[in-house]
């Protein structure tokens, strides 16, 4: 069933249906037949230059951000994970750091997005600043990978008495002391200079024990913020403790000491008694031999100490208060163990006690890493996923998703700079993934990939296939196939809709990868699955701006009005649907794909970027709230979410689908009317498109050079009449069918011009589950009502509709504000404007009476239980060829809706008088 038939059959109250070519989605649709080689190919970004216009203005904001953002902040989490100096940089925070959601278990993803941003920015502008930044980041990541392959080495920093040992936050490093360091002593003094760099609770200075039952520890900060010493042989419930009275100051050197003499414990901070427990009965001797003697690490799942240590000493007696005070300015080596920590190389530290108890620097997750591994967190995220049966993002948060972003960024960096280090990093990461995943049983892989959201892997299959195209390694292609999620692939290949309840963005990128796998393997089910999946989302799960998902998940097909909320249309979903749509267009250059691309690009994608410069944050939405009066949030979750990452990418490739070449370079598709210049090297021509679209309702293309080809101009599905083409000012007399291409075949001469007229019309689009809930369009532009009310606004438009269905008479242009209109006292504005005005994408149509051309018939507009009315039915047949055609349709509607003879007469009389 075509879109028009679908709209009528579902009783959608729309004056003019937008996309008559949309296929309907059914639970067991006939599988799509195999496609041959790609029929159309996009041009590289470098061959399509944006010129002044809406897209260039939006992009400029992101380019400025890309030029100025401190990339060492992005590299901080990678360097910290490898135990390298972080150059004083502060991680971005949010999802890209240790303080954000789930303790930053997704960190590293944003750096991958930024690499792609820089690569696309250079391709679009040619500016060296972007490639310079790419090479710097590639060099840093190469150093990170090398460091992960080695044992950790000392990171030396200025200390209290010379040099000191620094543990960068996120490095997971600690000092491991030999067994027997306490030597069964019945009294002890623990002494250390510490400079905590973070206020995390329960980070340890000392933790000597076997497990979480038998231990002693000295922590810099409890949950209440003060230092604590504890000793126990029976776990936390039997701890004997000494608490301090005030927090230590982060970033400042402090001296901590605790003495234990068998009857009392005393805690000192900077030489002053900070706490005392006179009823201590446990001593180190009571603990017996212990397995672990750690500095900076806990036996509990507490944070690893972040900061610096200097002059660590352990004494076999309880020092006096005077002796503790003396340590404030003069070090005195402990007789059990003493570490000056002034080494500047290596990973071991000499013991100054004379006992030869050399300390070793280690990582909590072991190490070194396996060859090729590169991430901003340890391999443990990947290892733990292999045994998980359900998701828990506070433990494991989509490590292969993060690997995808890094891999894609590295490959894009290589393609832009030709820096072979980037390809080596990408290839090595694929080698590492294959070495892990190829060893796992298929059942384990299927379980992993089905877990939300720990098993999410984004578009990694596409990226791996692209790496394989450069390396030719058979294990890389084998790796791509290890991500097959068979239930999803087989269901979609069979045309079975299993999407309800799935996490949308976890699954959309899978299908773009399947298309690349089909390219590489020829396996038919990959292609069938991707082609059948698309109409399961577009339009049945699509909001009018082009996006999909509610609270990140899919509901049942057609559930639109019933799902409007503050958390609709996750921006990543729109980004990835456009990537899939573009990939499908290569296989089948059908206008339906280009129509969807225009809808989503000109509305959700443009509108997701705020029209405000910001050197620190991308200012991109996460969710697009479609509930009435929603105000867009352009800085969600501290500014480093998945959607802000894809937002950076979207804003630097606006031009990627304006033009396609097809039929063996004998045809040029013009899919979008966007000011730009195409350099078609194979043909030796340029095509310059000059337009202010969508403010201007048309465009003008100028040919530079001479070549023969077919120019295929898209006739948008929304352009139902008036599409006109002139070549060198002469009208081309051939049919222009909405939702198709207008072909012009000739030998083009230098200076030839093609002028295209694209008349806009106002129209409404109704939701399938409530025809009274609608959105408004003017040509391709979604218009939103700006109003702070949190309930649906109600509008009546049918009474002012023209015979062709156009609603122009209902709207008054606002002078000086293009694409802004007033209707019933409310301002309507383009969704693509990135403002923080409260907006209504959807409103409620309220047409209580049958009114034609402003004339009220006095007859009530009958309505069905689902909200569909006689007027909805009538205007769904617009445009009408003539007044007689209109009156005939009114007569038919009166009969269908069983109006009385009197009401029918009144309605017909009004219809005849109205036009």
Domain CATH for 335: 2.60.120.200
| Residue 211 domain-assigned (yes or no) | yes
217 shares its domain with 333: yes
| The predicted structure's pLDDT at residue 343 | 98
| The predicted structure's pLDDT at residue 465 | 98
Band the pLDDT of 7: cuts 50, 70, 90.
Answer: very low
pLDDT digit string, tens, across residues 264-287: 999 999 999 999 999 999 999 999
Average pLDDT on 106-121 reads: 98
Band the pLDDT of 305: cuts 50, 70, 90.
Answer: very high
Q: Which of 598, 623, 650 is the last residue of a domain?
A: 650
Q: Which of 306, 336, 363 is the last residue of a domain?
A: 363
pLDDT at residue 4 tops 70: no
The structural domain count of the chain equals 3
Average pLDDT on 546-557 reads: 98
388 shares its domain with 260: no
pLDDT at residue 1 tops 70: no
463 shares its domain with 486: yes
pLDDT at residue 10 tops 50: no
Band the pLDDT of 38: cuts 50, 70, 90.
Answer: confident
Length of the chain: 915
Non-local CB neighbours of 544 within 8 Å, separated by 6+ positions: 603, 765, 775, 777, 782, 841, 842
| The predicted structure's pLDDT at residue 367 | 86
What separation in angstroms does the CA of 96 have from each of 81, 105, 170, 305, 912?
Answer: 13, 8, 12, 20, 66
328 shares its domain with 454: no
Average pLDDT on 735-763 reads: 97
848 shares its domain with 896: yes
67: closest CA among 127, 138, 124?
127
| Residue 284 domain-assigned (yes or no) | yes
Q: Which of 650, 672, 695 is the last residue of a domain?
A: 650
Average pLDDT on 807-820 reads: 97
pLDDT at residue 813 tops 90: yes
Band the pLDDT of 37: cuts 50, 70, 90.
Answer: low
| The predicted structure's pLDDT at residue 9 | 30
208: closest CA among 242, 231, 236, 238?
231
| The predicted structure's pLDDT at residue 33 | 38
Give the structural domain span for 132: 51-143+378-650
How far is residue 779's CA from residue 718's CA, in Å, rounded to a whole number? 6
Mean pLDDT taken over the chain = 94
Band the pLDDT of 103: cuts 50, 70, 90.
Answer: confident
Rounding to the nearest 10 degrees, give the CA dihedral for residues 158, 164, 170, 176.
Answer: 180
| Residue 748 domain-assigned (yes or no) | no
The rounded percent of the chain whose pLDDT value lies above 70 is 96
545 shares its domain with 512: yes
Band the pLDDT of 637: cuts 50, 70, 90.
Answer: confident
Q: How many Å separate Cα 393 from the centre of its chain? A: 16
| Residue 655 domain-assigned (yes or no) | no
198 shares its domain with 245: yes
Q: What is the CATH number of the domain that holds 482?
A: 1.50.10
- Do residues 264 and 277 touch, judged by C-beta distance below 8 A? yes
150: closest CA among 368, 330, 362, 324?
368
| The predicted structure's pLDDT at residue 333 | 98
| The predicted structure's pLDDT at residue 36 | 53
| Residue 483 domain-assigned (yes or no) | yes
Query: How much is the CA Rg of the chain, to the nearest whole Å?
Result: 33
pLDDT at residue 15 tops 50: no
| Residue 394 domain-assigned (yes or no) | yes
Average pLDDT on 244-259 reads: 97
70 shares its domain with 165: no
331 shares its domain with 410: no
278 shares its domain with 340: yes
| Residue 40 domain-assigned (yes or no) | no
pLDDT digit string, tens, across residues 494-541: 999 999 999 999 999 999 999 999 999 999 999 999 999 999 999 999
pLDDT at residue 871 tops 70: yes
pLDDT at residue 100 tops 80: yes
Average pLDDT on 780-800 reads: 96
284 shares its domain with 310: yes
Identify the bridge partners of residue 797 per DSSP, sorted by sequence position. none
Average pLDDT on 637-648 reads: 93
DSSP state string for 369-433: PPTT---SS-THHHHHHTT-SS-BTTTB--HHHHHHHHHHHHHHHHHHH--HHHHHHHHHHHHHH
Average pLDDT on 188-209 reads: 97
pLDDT at residue 17 tops 60: no
Q: 122 — phi, psi (to 5°)? A: -70, -45
702: closest CA among 51, 44, 122?
51
pLDDT digit string, tens, across residues 340-387: 999 999 999 999 999 999 999 999 999 899 999 999 999 999 999 999
How far is residue 76's CA from residue 655's CA, in Å, rounded to a whole number? 32
Average pLDDT on 24-49 reads: 64
406 shares its domain with 523: yes
| The predicted structure's pLDDT at residue 20 | 28
pLDDT digit string, tens, across residues 444-455: 999 999 999 999
pLDDT digit string, tens, across residues 701-718: 999 999 999 999 999 999
| Residue 441 domain-assigned (yes or no) | yes
pLDDT at residue 240 tops 90: yes
| The predicted structure's pLDDT at residue 21 | 30
């Amino acid at each position: 069933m075509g879109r028009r038939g679908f709209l009528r059959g579902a009783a959608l109250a729309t004056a003019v249906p937008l996309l008559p070519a949309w296929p309907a989605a059914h639970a067991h649709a006939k599988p799509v037949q195999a496609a041959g080689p790609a029929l159309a190919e996009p041009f590289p970004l470098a061959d399509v230059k944006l010129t002044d216009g809406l897209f260039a203005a939006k992009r400029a904001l992101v380019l400025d951000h890309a030029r100025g953002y401190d990339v060492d902040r992005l590299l901080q989490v990678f360097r910290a994970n490898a135990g390298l100096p972080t150059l004083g940089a502060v991680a971005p925070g949010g999802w890209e750091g240790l303080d954000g959601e789930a303790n930053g278990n997704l960190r590293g993803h944003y750096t991958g997005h930024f690499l792609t941003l820089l690569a696309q920015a250079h391709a679009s502008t040619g500016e060296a600043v972007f490639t310079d930044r790419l090479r710097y980041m590639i060099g840093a990541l190469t150093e990170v990978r090398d460091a992960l392959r080695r044992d950790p080495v000392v990171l030396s920093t200025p200390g209290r008495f010379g040099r000191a040992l620094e543990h960068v936050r996120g490095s997971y490093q600690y000092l491991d002391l030999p067994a027997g360091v306490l030597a069964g002593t019945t009294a002890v003094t623990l002494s250390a200079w510490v400079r905590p760099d973070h206020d995390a609770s329960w980070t340890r200075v000392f933790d000597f024990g076997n497990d979480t039952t038998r231990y002693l520890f000295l922590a810099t900060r409890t949950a209440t913020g003060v230092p604590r010493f504890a000793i126990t042989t029976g776990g936390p419930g039997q701890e004997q403790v000494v608490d301090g009275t005030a927090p230590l100051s982060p970033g400042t050197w402090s001296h901590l000491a605790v003495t234990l003499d068998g009857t009392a414990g005393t805690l000192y901070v900077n030489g002053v008694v900070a706490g005392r427990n006179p009823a201590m009965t446990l001593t180190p001797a009571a603990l017996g031999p212990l397995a672990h003697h750690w500095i900076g690490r806990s036996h509990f799942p507490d944070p690893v100490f972040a900061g610096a240590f200097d002059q660590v000493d352990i004494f076999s007696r309880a020092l006096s208060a005077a002796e503790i005070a003396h340590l404030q300015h003069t070090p005195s080596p402990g007789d059990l163990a003493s570490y000056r920590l002034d080494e500047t190389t290596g990973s071991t530290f000499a013991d100054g006690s004379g006992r030869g108890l050399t300390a070793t620097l280690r990582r909590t997750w072991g190490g070194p890493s396996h060859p090729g591994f590169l991430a901003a967190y340890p391999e443990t995220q990947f290892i733990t996923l292999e045994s998980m049966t359900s998701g828990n993002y506070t433990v494991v948060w989509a490590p292969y998703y993060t690997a995808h972003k890094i891999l894609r960024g590295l490959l894009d960096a290589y393609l832009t700079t030709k820096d072979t280090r980037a390809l080596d990093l990408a290839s090595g990461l694929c080698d590492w993934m294959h070495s892990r995943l190829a060893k796992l049983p298929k059942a384990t892989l299927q379980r992993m990939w089905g877990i939300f959201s720990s098993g999410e892997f984004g578009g990694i299959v596409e990226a791996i296939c692209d790496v394989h195209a450069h390396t030719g390694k058979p294990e890389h292609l084998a790796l791509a196939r290890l991500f097959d999620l068979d239930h999803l692939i087989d269901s979609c290949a069979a045309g079975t809709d299993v999407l309800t309840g799935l996490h949308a963005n976890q699954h959309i990128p899978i299908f773009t990868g399947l298309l690349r796998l089909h390219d590489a393997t020829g396996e038919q089910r990959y292609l069938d699955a991707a082609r059948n999946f698309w109409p399961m989302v577009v339009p049945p799960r699509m909001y009018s701006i082009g996006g999909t998902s509610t609270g990140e998940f899919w509901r049942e097909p057609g559930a639109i009005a019933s799902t409007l909320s503050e958390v609709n249309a996750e921006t990543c979903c729109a980004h990835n649907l456009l990537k899939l749509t573009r990939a499908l267009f290569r296989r089948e250059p059908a206008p339906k794909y280009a129509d969807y691309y225009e809808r989503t690009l000109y509305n959700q994608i443009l509108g997701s970027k705020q029209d405000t410069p910001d050197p620190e944050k991308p200012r991109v939405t996460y969710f697009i709230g479609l509930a009435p009066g929603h105000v867009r949030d352009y800085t969600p979750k501290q500014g480093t979410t998945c959607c802000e990452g894809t937002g950076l990418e979207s804003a630097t490739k606006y031009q990627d689908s304006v033009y396609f070449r097809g039929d063996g370079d004998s045809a040029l598709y013009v899919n979008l009317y966007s000011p730009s210049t195409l350099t078609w090297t194979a043909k030796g021509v340029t095509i310059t498109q000059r337009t202010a679209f969508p403010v201007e309702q048309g465009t003008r293309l100028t040919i530079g050079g001479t070549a023969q080809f077919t120019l295929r101009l898209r006739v948008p599905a929304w352009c139902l009449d008036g599409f006109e083409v002139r070549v060198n000012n002469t009208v081309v007399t051939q049919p222009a069918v909405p939702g198709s291409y207008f072909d012009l075949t000739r030998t083009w001469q230098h200076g030839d011009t093609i002028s295209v007229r694209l008349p806009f019309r106002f129209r409404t689009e109704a939701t399938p589950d409530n025809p009274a809930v609608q959105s408004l369009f003017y040509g391709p532009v979604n218009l939103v009502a700006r109003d702070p009310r949190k309930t649906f606004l109600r509008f009546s438009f049918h009474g002012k509709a023209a015979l062709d269905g156009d609603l122009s008479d209902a709207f008054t242009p606002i002078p000086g504000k293009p694409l802004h209109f007033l209707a019933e006292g409310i301002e309507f504005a383009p969704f693509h404007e990135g403002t923080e005005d409260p907006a209504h994408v959807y409103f409620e149509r309220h047409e209580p009476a049958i009114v034609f051309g402003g004339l009220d018939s006095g007859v009530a507009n009958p309505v069905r239980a689902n909200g569909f009315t006689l007027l909805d039915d009538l205007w769904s047949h617009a445009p009408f060829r003539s007044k007689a055609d209109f009156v005939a349709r009114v007569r038919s509607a009166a009969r269908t809706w069983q109006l009385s003879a009197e009401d029918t007469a009144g309605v017909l009389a009004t219809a005849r008088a109205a036009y």
